[in-house]
Structure 1
């Protein structure tokens, strides 16, 4: 169970900027996967948040700026209990690096949750949701938080991307107490249809893969980001996969560019 202690908060001074971090934009595919893997430095992924349900860390999410400059979080629909989840059951942790160290972080209760109306739990189509916190502004968040940018375009085949989270460090294993990440190449749907995912994909999804490099249980809802023109854009939301890092089974993500019209309605 995650501690609900709120540490001291230092106000941030930025507002509308997004996608900036000291994390290197130079891909390193030699790094290990989240499963078994590479620990991020504190502040590498300042848009990464944790989703808590009834006191337990269950998923990840991405901090973005919504209309009017307010704080919003994008996560996966399957992380929530049905299409009309009770916001009172959910909290979001901003500024967390290690789950077992309080540090400088803030836990905020959800005010409204919008799950995609066409989310299908059988096919995982439209696996996306937006969490709002009333009029919460960036100035109320810890200093080690910063929003990811929304996607400015569709993705390219073999484009570099990074996925992060606190999920399990082996398939069916234990969760990580430290935030981990891995570089992954984005795959076109046509290329992904030539993998073990054939017949399970639709236009609301994108794939990112390399054997042995993947998100896993507990990373759901978290960010898949790509470096573009000096900033990091949210290109996908961790959705589903056959196992974790298996050969010929790349991970599948909700495609934020394809789903941008729906997102813009609730951001």
Structure 2
């Protein structure tokens, strides 16, 4: 699968720094709302090849010209949480319309390697993180750019408790339809204790104080199943930093869609900087 020829003005990859965006953002509103093309140029769409079809699987984030991070549960299979074969995965960079496959600004990339965090366990979703190494480098354009990783011990960056992060994705809307255009929502981080107390039976199993964090409003503004693996980002001094990956949501009783009256669990990427770094050389 070769990418198209006109990707929105290719720029010298070595001159592009992470976390910078060329497109002026639209004002952020809490409820999931439309984004502008190129507003979130690191957000990728991950597909699985099923026969002759591409089936949308998860979101993810481009962190270098050859590396994407997503949730481990997006790229593992039973038994024993083994990685899926890399050759059944396709990453689309610069994606905006989920079901439109003739967009010049989109780059199709095959995956060379799938690295699942060695401690990932699907019974509790902890360490829900995977690195995908692309088979060829992305060309950076105004629609395709990497996000910065949150530096583990950078005290210039604030504590995220009570801050609002931004999540983007093609998740299910309130009518349980997968949205066709990339949407975004802002949601506040809540403390571990607040999260735990809100639904102890669930969050005691799926959260860990130093590996995950919770966010959301518990009032219908949330991310849903289709958004798994997508990033939560924070802006500091005009630079966007990736801090969380959508990991797990509370399912509605008897349904495979999520219940937006509960908080969402995110993998805290800042705890895995060293593990991720080994694939960035």
TM-score by length of structure 1 reads: 0.86
How much does 1:245 deviate? 5.4
Alignment of 1:228-239 (within 5 A): 228-239=236-247
Post-superposition offset of 1:164: 0.6
Structure 1 counterpart of 2:156: none
1:57: Cα distance to partner?
A: 1.1
- Partner of 1:266: helix, strand, or coil? coil
Q: Distance in 1 between matches of 2:276 and 2:265?
A: 19
CA RMSD of aligned residues (A): 2.2
In structure 2, what is the equivalent of residue 42 of structure 1? 37
Question: 1:250 aligned to 241, 251, 263, which one?
Answer: 263
Q: Is the CA contact (8 Å cut-off) linking 1:215 and 1:245 kept in structure 2? A: no
The within-5 A match list for 1:128-167 is: 128-134=129-135, 136-138=136-138, 140-153=139-152, 155-167=159-171
Matches within 5 A, 1:188-207: 188-196=191-199, 197-200=202-205, 201-202=207-208, 203-207=210-214
Deviations 1:123-163 (A, max 9, x none): 000000000024x334x355411111000247421112100
State the 1:258 CA deviation: 1.3
How far did residue 5 of structure 1 move? 8.0
What's the CA shift for 1:206? Answer: 1.1
Query: Where does structure 1 differ by over 6 angstroms across 4 or more consecutive aligned residues?
Result: none
Pairing 1:9–2:6 present: yes
- Corresponding residue for 1:216? 224
Aligned to 2:233, what secondary structure does the other structure show?
A: strand
Structure label with greater radius of gyration:
2
After superposition, the C-alpha distances for 1:74-108 in whole angstroms (9 at most, x for unaligned) are 00000013333210010100011112332221111
**C-alpha displacement of 1:259:** 1.9
Displacement of 1:51: 0.3
- 2:279 matched residue in structure 1: 266
In the alignment, structure 2 segments of 5+ residues that lack a partner are 154-158, 252-257
Q: How many residues align?
A: 250
Aligned to 1:106: 107
Residue correspondence of structure 1 range 15-30 to structure 2 within 5 A: 15=14, 16-21=16-21, 22-24=23-25, 28=28, 30=29
String of CA shifts for 1:166-196, please: whole Å, max 9, x gaps.
121137x221110000001112323322222
